[in-house]
């Protein structure tokens, strides 16, 4: 099994640049000279929300996949065939199903599909792929329901919502230790958007809280795509919430902080789960008020490289390829998961779906083998059992130049072996 870490990442930047230039060893061809036949391209679908509210996240995931494919092509492709991604924009559930049909039928006929960022996209897209008998590789949607349908051709590299919920609860313990209180004395609340992914996380959090002998003083849901979250904040304030566990759609974070500012109220700690909590745009939008916010999230770039070998190299390659720094850990997670599945495709040796499934299920990579720190071992349902989220926190960052404000950066604070900073036991600078 090929281990994906810093060594595998060395060629990513070169592949991204060299893909648009002729080979250095190209020689003039003489007319009439027979040329060796080239294997046809291997067409793989890439279905993400590339427009609409989730576009920044879908684009970030697509970039991670794109870098993985470029690195693989630079190394010779998959069983001797060059990979070509067929993009599909799925901003909502209907588009996800329609685009999945386009990718699996007619002229497209991709060998497999990669996706998708969100649970609401993954569920219909993967169902279409399953019915068509096309392997579907999920890189970043975390809802438990994605893998609970006993589908044969659906595989997920990312952790489950239950795993994210557990890491968020670890944040409660870390906070309690830092302030010298028992977790059971903290007034815990759960706030979630009434949507598949967020409800899955909230349900797992409620079950884990009960299992750990703690109690939720209120579980407050709100309608999808809210205009504001003033009502939610008033409910949390009314029960004197000290710790808020929040799961929502991208953008809900800014609404929540705006409502807290207008109410002149904030809890002792806010612990988010994935979504926009790890996005650079979120930090720029909210500003210093975001400082101290924890999140159960994909691997950040401020992480111990002994645990996530290659995270820094990925960020450097991303900067060279796209002219900007990564916006969140979604791209890194997508890159790492894609490399695992591309390796399985290579080992399968053909586009036969049964051989692809067998190769995925035979994957055996220790944790810490990928750039985001995950390993890979899949159960019969197709879920990766060696993928773990991390507990992150927004903390002050050093100024980039004299006279500039320090800003914020997202850092790993747990597990201990991944941490690069101690947890701050408060919200705000």
pLDDT at 89: 98
Q: Is the per-residue pLDDT at 4 higher than 70? A: no
Q: For 378, list phi and psi in degrees, rounded to 5.
A: -105, 140
Give the Å distances, CA to CA, from 336 to 45, 88, 340: 17, 21, 7
Between 166 and 402, residue with greater pLDDT: 166
Express each pLDDT in 372-406 by its tens digit. Answer: 999 999 999 999 999 999 999 999 987 544 554 56
Whether the pLDDT of residue 319 is over 50: the answer is: yes
Local confidence band at 43 (pLDDT 50, 70, 90 cut-offs):
very high
- Residue scoring higher pLDDT (11 or 423): 423
Query: Where along the chain do its domains lie?
Result: 41-160+307-361, 162-303+390-414
- Nearest to 115, CA basis, from 91, 151, 131: 91
Window from 266-270, 274-278, 420-424 with minimum mean pLDDT: 274-278
Q: What is the CA radius of gyration of the chain?
A: 22
Residues 6+ apart with CB under 8 A from 326: 60, 280, 301, 314, 315, 318, 319, 332
pLDDT, tens only, 334-383: 999 999 999 999 999 999 999 999 999 999 999 999 999 999 999 999 99
Q: Which CATH class is domain 162-303+390-414?
A: alpha beta
Q: Is the pLDDT of residue 18 over 50?
A: no
CATH homologous superfamily of domain 41-160+307-361? Answer: Response regulator (3.40.50.2300)
The band of 11, judged by pLDDT with boundaries at 50, 70 and 90, is: very low
Q: For every residue of 271-317, which 3-state class applies, written as one string?
A: EEECHHHHCHHHHHHHHHHHCCCEEEECCCCECCCCCCCCHHHHHHH
Q: CA-based angle 123:46:82, to the nearest 5?
A: 140
Separation CA 270–CA 277 (nearest Å): 11
Query: Fold match between 41-160+307-361 and 162-303+390-414?
Result: yes
pLDDT at 311 over 70: yes
CA dihedral 337, 143, 386, 383 (to 10 degrees): -80
Burial of 116 (C-beta count, 10 Å sphere; 0-12/13-18/19+): buried
* pLDDT at residue 20, rounded to an integer: 28
């Amino acid at each position: 099994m090929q281990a994906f870490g810093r060594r595998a990442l060395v060629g990513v930047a070169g592949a991204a640049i060299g893909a648009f230039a002729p080979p250095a060893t190209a020689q003039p061809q003489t007319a009439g000279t027979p040329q060796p036949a080239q294997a046809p391209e291997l067409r793989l679908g890439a279905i993400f929300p590339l427009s609409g509210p989730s576009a920044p996240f879908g684009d970030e995931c697509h970039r991670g996949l794109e870098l993985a494919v470029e690195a693989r092509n630079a190394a010779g492709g998959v069983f001797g065939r060059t990979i070509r991604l067929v993009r599909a924009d799925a901003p909502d559930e209907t588009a996800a199903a329609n685009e999945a049909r386009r990718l699996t039928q007619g002229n497209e006929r991709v060998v497999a599909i990669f996706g998708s960022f969100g649970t609401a996209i993954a569920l219909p897209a993967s169902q279409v792929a399953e019915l068509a008998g096309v392997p579907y590789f999920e890189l970043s949607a975390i809802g438990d329901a994605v893998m609970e349908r006993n589908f044969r051709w659906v595989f997920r590299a990312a952790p489950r919502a239950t795993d994210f919920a557990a890491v968020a609860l670890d944040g409660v313990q870390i906070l309690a230790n830092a302030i010298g209180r028992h977790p059971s004395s903290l007034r815990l609340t759960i706030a979630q958007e009434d949507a598949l992914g967020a409800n899955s996380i909230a349900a797992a959090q409620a079950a884990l809280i009960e299992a750990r002998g703690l109690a939720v003083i209120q579980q407050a849901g709100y309608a999808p795509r809210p205009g504001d979250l003033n009502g939610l904040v008033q409910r949390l304030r009314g029960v004197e919430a000290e710790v808020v566990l929040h799961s929502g759609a991208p953008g809900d974070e800014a609404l929540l902080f705006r409502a807290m500012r207008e109410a002149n109220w904030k809890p002792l700690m806010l612990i988010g789960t994935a979504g926009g909590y790890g996005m650079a745009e979120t930090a720029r939008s909210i500003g210093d008020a975001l400082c101290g916010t924890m999140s159960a999230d994909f691997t950040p770039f401020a992480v111990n490289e002994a645990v996530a070998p290659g995270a820094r190299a990925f960020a450097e390659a991303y900067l060279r390829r796209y002219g900007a720094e990564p916006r969140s850990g979604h791209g890194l997670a997508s890159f790492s998961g894609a490399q695992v599945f591309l390796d399985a495709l290579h080992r399968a040796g053909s586009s036969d779906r049964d051989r692809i499934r067998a190769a995925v299920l035979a994957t055996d990579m220790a944790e810490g083998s990928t750039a985001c720190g995950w390993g890979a071992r899949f159960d019969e349902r197709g879920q990766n059992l060696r993928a773990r989220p991390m507990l992150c926190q927004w903390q002050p960052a050093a100024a980039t130049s004299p006279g500039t404000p320090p800003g914020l950066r997202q850092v790993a604070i747990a597990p201990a072996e991944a941490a690069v900073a101690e947890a701050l036991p408060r919200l705000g600078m």
